[in-house]
Structure 1
Amino acid sequence: MFKKIPCIRVEGETFTSGQHEVIEEVPLALFVNGRHAMTAMMSPVQLEEFVTGYLFTEQIIKGIDEIESIRIDKNRMSVITKNLFKVLGPKKTILSGCGGSTSYIDTEKLPKITSDYVISPREIWSSAKAVLNSEIHVTTGGIHIVALLDHEKILAVSEDIGRHNALDRVIGTALREGIDLSHTYVIVSGRISSEMVRKCLIANIPVIVSRGATTTLAVEIAEKTGLAVVGFARGGKLNLYSHPERITGSGPVSG
């Protein structure tokens, strides 16, 4: 996921030639039934999991059983589905998750969460501490982490230059392993965006947690659709932005 490249290190007035580990970013084109669907800029790992999750959260497929085959060849990912005439959306270039073009959100057509799943603040703090530590991040300083969990264990972890890509990977892993996503939650290292909320709604994941911030649109959409958004989950503290009833021991949010 990273390579050593030359650099000049500066400490005070001292300049020293050396090398530093830098995260890989590569373009990967996705073709569905022979048609170009999108090009993603991403870390070149867990590609089948990414493709599965992406096709699902973009509603190109409704389940893993609709995929006939996935073929990976260098910078090309080719998928054949059972419905060869599936109509794709507009072509997209998906960047690493910060300001890039991703999905086009129609809030009127978003599904609502159907789950009675609840977790405790203590469980959130413990899980965040366990999963949001990465040797790759320490080495490179340039990676996002997304983890999928239930009450018992960590179900999947993904690291990528883009947190949206990483979220698709853990969702794809769950689909491939037959995991019931309505009784899981995700923890992310970066900001919760409206696009990440949309992906959770499609997957019916009832809680999304970040050790960082969220956006107003993410909270607005989550409030209307039953998703609990939790931010700044670190150091024994957290902020509940929507549906606090999913976090045990919390009351209603007041303005």
Structure 2
Amino acid sequence: MDGRANKWEFIRFDQRDMSVREEEIVTEFPLTVVLNGEEFATIVCSPTDIHELLIGFLASEGIIRFYKEISAIKIDEERGFAYIEMDKPLHSLQHNHSKRFIGSCCGKSRQFYFQSDVKTAKTITSKLSISADQCFELMNQLQLQSQEFKRTGGVHNAAICTLNEILEICTDIGRHNALDKIYGHIMERSIPVADKVIVFSGRISSEVLLKISKIGVGILISKSAPTDLALELANDLGITVIGFARGHKMNVYTHPFRVIETGKTSEASK
């Protein structure tokens, strides 16, 4: 499935003027995950990078720790099903998980599973540092490459980056899904993350922060706001959270030692 958006005709009211127009609307795609022959979850997502989404989703949920634990992935896009085979039996996972519907937005459709988070959340000890100008440039690159957002205004973007450039960018109607897609790319390609940064378009909630911790990246840059619980977790887990990165302004909320003055040399650039 290659459709990220569909054309839709609508009526535009502009004060007293009325006109018929057409614009692109993002696709919302329900994907049912069947794990070892049993229905496990339904994810509402954008129909792109589905393979990577599935890998990242399983890792985020604590189902897998390594990509090699997955024996096979078969995606039936026409019917909206993904069939995943794993080496370990499903009954060993059911005490922590039950079949559920995972919506494209945040909120109560996403459940907090403390037990699995404890197993997979990582404390970050990276000494990687980044300059303010590098933060601004990475956010600018994310904005420039966010073509689907420019067309529809209905998606979130996440990117794994070096200090100077974006390596991979993923788009989805759900901000959690966008991060899971990035996680899947990282796991499948064995990308080292100690010297990487994640740039993100969405609000930084506690769930987002936990995903960043599980991925193992120490610096998160977002154009949006954090929550207080996310910042408390970031303090505990050693993650530098940068929010409201827009234009040439940003707020560094936690572990500011990683953000250096522009003009100084970062550890990874030496």
Map of 1:116 onto structure 2: 127
Map of 2:29 onto structure 1: 26
Q: Which of the numbers 205, 216, 221 marks the counterpart of 2:217?
A: 205
Task: List gaps (5 residues or longer) in structure 2.
Answer: 263-270
Map of 1:253 onto structure 2: none
Is 1:83 matched up with 2:83?
no
Residue 31 of structure 2 contacts residue 45 of structure 2 at CA under 8 Å; is this kept in 1?
A: yes
Map of 2:268 onto structure 1: none
Paired AA for residue 84 in structure 1? P
Deviation at 1:175, TM superposition (A): 1.0
- 1:30-61 Cα offsets, whole Å, 9 max, x none, are 11111222111111110000001111111100
Map of 1:151 onto structure 2: 163
- 1:156-182 Cα offsets, whole Å, 9 max, x none, are 101111111000001111111110122
Residue 11 of structure 2 contacts residue 20 of structure 2 at CA under 8 Å; is this kept in 1?
A: yes
Paired AA for residue 214 in structure 1? P
Map of 1:52 onto structure 2: 55
Structure 1 runs of 4+ aligned residues shifted over 3 Å read none
Residue 156 of structure 1 contacts residue 174 of structure 1 at CA under 8 Å; is this kept in 2?
A: no
TM-score (norm 1): 0.92
Map of 1:99 onto structure 2: 107
Is 1:5 matched up with 2:4?
no
- 1:219-248 Cα offsets, whole Å, 9 max, x none, are 011101101111011221111111111212
Question: How many Å separate the matches in 2 of 1:185 and 1:37?
Answer: 31
- Number of equivalent positions: 250
Structure 1 residues 65, 3: closer, same or farther in 2, change over 3 A? same
- 1:108-142 Cα offsets, whole Å, 9 max, x none, are 82431132222111111001001123221121111
Task: List gaps (5 residues or longer) in structure 1.
Answer: 251-255
Identical counterparts, % of pairs: 32
Q: Which of the numbers 41, 45, 56 marks the counterpart of 1:42?
A: 45
TM-score (norm 2): 0.87
Structure 1 residues 165, 100: closer, same or farther in 2, change over 3 A? farther
Cα RMSD for the two superposed structures? 1.8
Paired AA for residue 27 in structure 1? P
Is 1:227 matched up with 2:217?
no
Structure 1 residues 147, 128: closer, same or farther in 2, change over 3 A? same
- Higher alpha-carbon deviation: 16-25 or 105-114: 105-114
Map of 2:143 onto structure 1: 132
Secondary structure of 1:221's aligned partner: helix
Residue 74 of structure 2 contacts residue 84 of structure 2 at CA under 8 Å; is this kept in 1?
A: yes
Residue 209 of structure 1 contacts residue 233 of structure 1 at CA under 8 Å; is this kept in 2?
A: yes
Map of 1:17 onto structure 2: 20
